[in-house]
A and B are shown apart, each in its own frame.
Chain A
């Protein structure tokens, strides 16, 4: 069955450092991979989308890589700030519209 794995343990980093979050998947061939941010008690907010034929995508301090051979995506936040503290969700989309989400990784950025 399809499986999407994100590190369930919280990631604690210091302000100004780069946070790197991992999304691994099995038994899946997604055409697209998306990253969302979720704050407590709120809905997911779209951040970035990357296509299967793209290696890397950037948006301001965010960078996403997508390796379909390794079946892995890495999500980087450079120069992290306390306001970046949230749960980050990886979501896969195949040929239809539905998104299949991972469990998310909670990021805590401290001063």
Chain B
């Protein structure tokens, strides 16, 4: 069964460093998302991406964050200068269609630890 894959599974970085989290969405999906989950808290929407553009972003997704689809298969989330409070699980998701009826398929996540 097709799945969303994320690498690395765990990323440790020093505060102020840049990190890039990588995702390979399901191949025929056109809509891509990043969510994060701070330990013990709810899953929070960061950004959605379609047709090489950001469709929607949350207040969390500030100028320190950026997304890119550098080729036909990868979807990346970059955090320019990490802060302690960026420590969380980051989930990539993809869906075949957009809109509120879309079913999103999530990857296993990247655990980001900022020291």
Residues of A within 8 A of B (CB): 30-32, 34, 38, 41-46, 49, 51, 89, 93-104
Contact = CB atoms under 8 A, between A and B. Distances in A.
A44 B43 contact: yes
A98 B54 CA distance: 12
B55 interface: yes
18 contacts: A30-B100, A34-B103, A38-B43, A43-B107, A43-B108, A43-B109, A46-B105, A49-B103, A95-B100, A96-B99, A97-B31, A97-B48, A97-B50, A97-B55, A97-B56, A97-B100, A101-B43, A102-B42
Given A97-B56, A99-B104, A104 B42 contact: yes
A32 B101 CA distance: 6
Contacts, number: 71
Q: Chain B: interface residue count, which band?
A: 20 to 34
Contact of A93 (B43, B100, B108): B100
Nearest to B31: A97
Contacts of A51: 101
B30 to A, nearest CB: 11
B106 interface: yes
Contacts of A46: 103-105
B42 A96 contact: no
